[in-house]
Amino acid sequence: MEAHANDLRSEGAEDELVAALADDWRTAMLSEQERAMLEYAEKLALTPAQITQADVDSLRAVGFTDRAISDIVQVVSYFCYINRVADGIGVDPEPESAGR
Q: Are residues 55 and 68 in the same domain?
A: yes
Of 100 and 61, the structure prediction assigns the larger pLDDT to 61
pLDDT at 95: 62
Residue ranges making up the domain that contains 21: 1-29
pLDDT category of residue 99 using cuts at 50, 70 and 90:
low
Nearest one of 3, 20, 25 to 96, comparing CA atoms = 3
Q: Are residues 39 and 67 in the same domain?
A: yes
Query: What whole-number distance in Å separates Cα of residue 65 and Cα of residue 67?
Result: 5
Q: Return the axis-axis angle of helices 32-46 and 53-61, rounded to nearest 10°.
A: 160
In a domain, 98, yes or no: no
Q: Are residues 80 and 39 in the same domain?
A: yes
In a domain, 100, yes or no: no
pLDDT at 72: 98
Residue type, 68: A
Nearest one of 54, 99, 47 to 76, comparing CA atoms = 47
Q: Are residues 19 and 55 in the same domain?
A: no
Query: What whole-number distance in Å separates Cα of residue 40 and Cα of residue 2?
Result: 23
pLDDT at 7: 78
The number of distinct structural domains making up the chain is 2
pLDDT at 2: 75
Q: Are residues 44 and 71 in the same domain?
A: yes
